[in-house]
Structure 1
Amino acid sequence: MQKLTIVIPAYNEQEVLKDTVPRLWSIEREVVTQNFLSEDSDMLIVDDGSSDNTWSIIESFHKQHSKIRGLRFSRNFGHQAALIAGLTEAIKTTNMTITIDADLQDDPEKIMEMVQAYSAGADIVYGVRTHRETDSWFKRTTAQGYYKLLRLLGVQMVPNHADFRLMSKRAAQTLLTYPERNMFIRGLIPKLGFQTAKVYYRRTPRLAGESKYPLKKMLAFAWDGITSLTIAPVRLILLLGTLAVMLAFGMSVYSIIVKVLGLTVHGWSSLMVSLWFLGGLQMMSLGVIGEYIGKMMTEVKGRPRYTIQTRLD
């Protein structure tokens, strides 16, 4: 029989876990019964180095149900690392995994449809939001602009999909063969090439607590997505540099013509604007190149993505 494991990354989620875990456990039991899945189907919560009582809550649930398992990081390694750790642990014994955030803004009632899509032959089932009405105007607009930017850069993405998805064992195993540390999972999944399906849902507000992705983290995450999936920014630098050289050549020709015609105008403003523009362009270019070199250095070091401090099996 097929076994299902629900993987839940959690970072300082003490306010929601007491409601999240029982609800997901109940849904999973219902899915197991109706879809004839293995009774060994379980749940794996990955504590991403929380500083509150998240781990204590996980321990208490594990004592009540041995199939509610836990991993605890030695420190905060990030959401993507928690997902990778959960998948790595889960696929040792399971046939399919479903990843969902602890705040349950993604609709857990759609787990049933995901499992049915898997039974119909899909190796990857995306949970896709039907609207963004719960987001602020700024977040909604920037998210839509980000997806459009990625498409322009040649990156395959599923719009309005985060990390609520089902993956078969072979799909998860294939993802885990990607060795990079700078991972943007939702951008890598479409590269796997397996049969996919989509389940649509309406996102709801958090049950409690605050978002673990404030604006600063969201911007950093978005930038990681671009730099980990495409070298288009470096190519853009080459294009801008080429245009600057062409402009400089044109200005040189113009200056010679003006000089010959005796129409030379001595100006300070135009000179300073040109210097500041080219200087700023050079600094930005160095910054983008430095970002890629820094990520290359991180990859070359080959440091572990995460460190597990405690396991609850």
Structure 2
Amino acid sequence: MDRIAIIIPALNEGRSIAENLQTIRSHVVSVSDCQVSLLVVDDGSSDNTAEQVLAYRKDDPDVYLLCLNRHFGKEAAISAGLRAVPDFDAVIVMDSDLQHPPALLEEMIAQWRGGSAVVEAVKLSRGSESAVKGSLVKVYYRLFSYLTEIDISGDTDYKLLDREVVLSVNALPEHGRFFRGLIKWMGYPTTSISFDVPASTRQRSNWGSSALFKYALSSITSFTAFPLQLVSLMGILTFIISVVFGFMALSDKLSGQAVDGFTTVILLLLIIGSVLMFSVGLIGAYIGRIYDEVKRRPNFVTDNKRSVLPEDNE
């Protein structure tokens, strides 16, 4: 019998988590020759998410809970979940709000049994997101693909991973992780299933523009150093512009024409200052990432007293 764990990161989902767990369970109960466990990773919720999971567990003992001491972020919650279930034959990661349709679970398991080490769900539409946000996301995907040569267009964290893939992810030493990028980077045999965000779950995202920008910057800096090379290219471009302005000013001086130096100097200072500030910020982002890595702090800290894990029942 195959043992499959479904990892469900949750943050302040106390109002709906029990109902959503029941919905997820209803879509896997018919899968033959398979034991499916649900592991909710409570990412430092400030509501009663953990209590609701424990209450639901009384009716479904194959539901488990992993509590983090505080809010560490979704990437950390996924990492914590993967480390908690290394002995399962396969692991599925999905959102707790059902924006990842549970109806795909049975097909994902079938494709895994057919030989796919990774089965990923790919969005065809982005639900009720604004046109501006949708456009920015598309720009991000294209930029990430261009800079890293890893195509994650439409990818989500909704994936099924074979045990071998889970062990490989857990063995990676890096601190700052970008889950969907890492899975693509490892290059395991992959199949995909397309889906639209269900209309009934199209709710406002907990991610603001600032959080999305930080997420985009973190993912790009973790996979490529090309932006650092861009700093050198901008330096060369600035040098060329300065030389051109220099020759123009020298030519005007030699021809006896009046030189309005104030405007030119201000323009050059603005160009050089902007390039320098952008370069310092970009280099700072990479230094910050290096700083986080060399500290070797864990991605998360678990609350073992409140957690109920599969190994506790063995």
Instruction: Tell me the TM-score normalised to structure 1 length.
Output: 0.93
- The answer to whether 1:234 aligns with 2:232 is no
- Classify 1:244/1:208 alpha carbon distance in 2 versus 1 (closer, same or farther; 3 Å): closer
Listed one character per residue, the Cα deviations across residues 53-80 of structure 1 (whole Å, up to 9, x for unaligned) are: 1010111122322210010001010000
Instruction: State the one-letter code of the partner of 1:69.
Output: Y
Q: Which moved more, 1:299-308 or 1:184-193?
A: 184-193
Q: Which runs of 5+ in 2 are unaligned?
A: 310-314
Q: Which of 151, 154, 172 is residue 160 of structure 1 equivalent to?
A: 154
1:183-222 alignment runs, 5 A limit: 183-205=177-199, 207=201, 210-222=204-216
Moved more, 289-298 or 217-226: 217-226
C-alpha distance in structure 1 between counterparts of 2:288 and 2:282, whole Å: 10
Following TM superposition, by how much is the alpha carbon of 1:240 offset from its aligned partner in structure 2, in angstroms? 0.3
Structure 2: distance between partners of 1:273 and 1:282: 14
Is contact 1:155–1:229 with CA below 8 Å preserved after alignment? no
Letter in 1 for 2:50: W
Aligned pairs for 1:144-293 (under 5 A) are 144-205=138-199, 207=201, 210-293=204-287
Cα distance, 1:206 vs structure 2: 6.3
In the alignment, what sits opposite 1:118?
112
Extract structure 1 runs of 4+ deviating beyond 6 A. Answer: none
Shift of 1:135: 2.1
Paired residues for 1:291-310 under 5 Å: 291-310=285-304
Question: Which aligned pairs between 1:55-66 and structure 2 lie closer than 5 A?
Answer: 55-66=50-61
Give structure 1 stretches of 5+ with no counterpart.
none
| Contact 2:64–2:308 (Cα < 8 Å) also in 1 | yes
Q: Which amino acid aligns with 2:106?
A: M
Distance 1:7 1:153 in 2: 30
How much is the aligned-residue C-alpha RMSD, in angstroms? Answer: 1.6
Q: Structure 2 CA distance, aligned partners of 1:82 and 1:276?
A: 43
CA deviations on 1:18-41 (whole Å, 9 max, x unpaired) are 21100111212122x3xx22x3x2
Q: Which amino acid aligns with 1:17?
A: I
1:87 to 79, 82, 88: 82
Q: Alpha-carbon deviation of 1:106?
A: 1.3
State whether residues 112 and 118 of structure 2, in contact with CA within 8 Å, keep that contact through their aligned partners in structure 1: yes
Contact 2:66 2:308 in 1 (8 A): yes
Query: What is the distance in 2 between the residues matched to 1:241 and 1:179?
Result: 34
Cα gap change, 1:279 to 1:208, in 2 (>3 Å): closer
Aligned to 1:17: 17
Contact 2:118 2:160 in 1 (8 A): yes
Q: 1:137 and 1:288, CA in 2 relative to 1: closer, same or farther beyond 3 A?
A: same
Greater CA drift, 58-67 or 93-102: 58-67
Please give the alpha-carbon distance, in whole angstroms, between the structure 1 residues aligned to 2:249 and 2:152: 51
Partner of 2:137: 143
Q: Indicate the percent of aligned positions where both proteins have the same amino acid.
A: 29
Q: How many residues align?
A: 307
Name the CA distance, whole Å, in 2 between partners of 1:217 and 1:85: 21
Out of 262-271 and 174-183, give the one that drifted further.
262-271
Alignment partner, residue 38 of structure 2? 43
- Secondary structure at the aligned position of 2:40 is classed as strand
Asked if 1 retains the 8 angstrom alpha-carbon contact of 2:75 and 2:177, the reply is yes
Amino acid at match of 2:15: E
SS at structure 1 position matched to 2:217: helix
1:78 aligns with 2:73: yes
Q: In structure 1, the residue corresponding to 2:148 is in which secondary structure? A: coil
